[in-house]
Structure 1
């Protein structure tokens, strides 16, 4: 990956397009938002694959992610809470709990931040 300086931040050109990054939202997405997004969306993608392998009919997954930051320690991220609203037909709660445990073990972004950032996941079935 390569990033170039611009007014107010940096940008990178990727195969899907340009990504603008800045500590000021006027100029791009904030670095902490990228980190939280990476953890949340990685988890969502892994969860989706696992649920499909379990032959559950998932129609939609909505993800909400909240980060708690410590302003006294360089505004670092202390914890990330991820909540999944899972919509589908005849979803099995026990299987989803098992899928959530597998997701945590197999999401590279969650595994990368464990020990530094507390990550908690919850879900709700929407039918």
Structure 2
């Protein structure tokens, strides 16, 4: 379904989703309209699910990143997933295999906020915390 040109377009969009279609076209040797048509097709088929903005969380005073492994003590995962969806500190939540049930990535303002989050998690299960000391990629 995707050819090399589509893959090049996707790579350009991943690096800068605000890139103008004509600028993408110059790189992949198409007109801006042809690029627009290809992007629309990839959106229609679900290859492109959406666009996002990457924020510098430090500029927003969210300086502490933690990775939390959750060990559920209940089988009511729906309530836990709802809790995660409604919590703005949770950036990512993945159900995992191996040790633990879920892996969370959260960002908070302080150690106190982290402790508050962890206290709220105890209703659902136990946890193990790893705190990021620096982002590499």
TM-score, normalised via structure 1 length: 0.28
| Larger fraction in strand | 1
Higher helix content, 1 or 2: 2
- The structure whose Rg is larger is 2
Q: TM-score, normalised by structure 2?
A: 0.26
